[in-house]
Amino acid sequence: MLGSDQTRAASALLFNHWQSGRRLAALPSGLRPTTRAEGYAIQAHLEERGAAPLFGWKIAATSRAGQAHIGVDGPMAGRLLAERVLRDGAAVPLDGNHMRVAEVEFAFRMGQDLPSRRTVYETHEVLAAVDTLHPAIEIPDSRFEDFAVVGAPQLIADNACAHLFVLGPEATVDWRKMDLAEHTAVGRVSGRTERQGKGANVLDDPRLALTWLANELSQLGITLKAGQVVTTGTCMIPLAVERGDEVFASLGSLGEVSVRFL
């Protein structure tokens, strides 16, 4: 079992690689997590390094194809750092980004706290705590040379491949009456790529993904706080991007969001 000195050292190593855009094959054996709990213990130190209160949470590997691609058997939670959040329409350098993809996602801003508890949260309880729904673009990346082979504990330690995040405007329609599982999402890259997906590609429904996140945090003794944003995972195969590309993500009546790469 990794002690606090080891988890802190592992977090520092990963964070320094994140800041510098460098890669490592794996964490050193003495700092390497072997369980999801150890991975989350390493990840938790990121909050000590953030320049502002935690913006929210992401969910990685929310589809079976995505899980198979990175060799994990279930979703993983990661932290969204406030200084890594971009405004809608922002321009961001692509330098240092190894994955070079953008993901179209449903995101929820919480209106009430969901504290840690022994009993499982039901979906209706979680949705009652939501304030707003937003279209979003996640720009993931990893600090590992080959993120597909290091396994879930190290990927969780690596903040579930979180990197940058773009939050769109809140939906103005009554999304609570909509079937988000069947709702269509569209991603476009500078007019040369267009791809469609739907909410069912996210753990069968973005609302179920949000419920999973609330319960994952609850089991870790973490409160999902009012004001925090949860982005629930890509609705489609991630969109490959290059310098000069502009990515548009549309959730139809639920709104649009964009980002440009330099």
β 246-250/256-261 pair status: antiparallel
- Residue 224, strand partner residues: 114
Q: Which residue has the tokens 């504990």?
A: 153
Rounded mean pLDDT for each run of 10 residues along the chain, 262 residues in total: 96 96 97 98 93 93 84 93 97 95 98 98 98 98 96 98 98 98 97 94 97 98 98 97 97 98 98
Domains and CATH numbers, the chain: 52-261 (3.90.850.10)
Q: Is 177 helix (H, G, I), strand (E, B) or coil?
A: helix
Give CA torsion, residues 207, 69, 217, 206, to 10 deg: -10
pTM of this structure:
0.97
Distances from the Cα of 17 to the Cα of 61, 141, 142, 158, 243, angstroms: 22, 11, 9, 10, 22
- Among 213, 92, 115, 238, smallest CA distance to 164 is for 92
pLDDT of residue 73: 84
Inter-axis angle of helices 4-20 and 36-44, nearest 10 = 70
Cα–Cα distance, 118 to 109 (Å, whole number): 24
Cα–Cα distance, 196 to 250 (Å, whole number): 10
Cα–Cα distance, 82 to 164 (Å, whole number): 10
Enter the DSSP assignment of 210: H
pLDDT of residue 68: 82
Q: Is 94 exposed, middle or buried (0-12, 13-18, 19+ CB in 10 A)?
A: middle
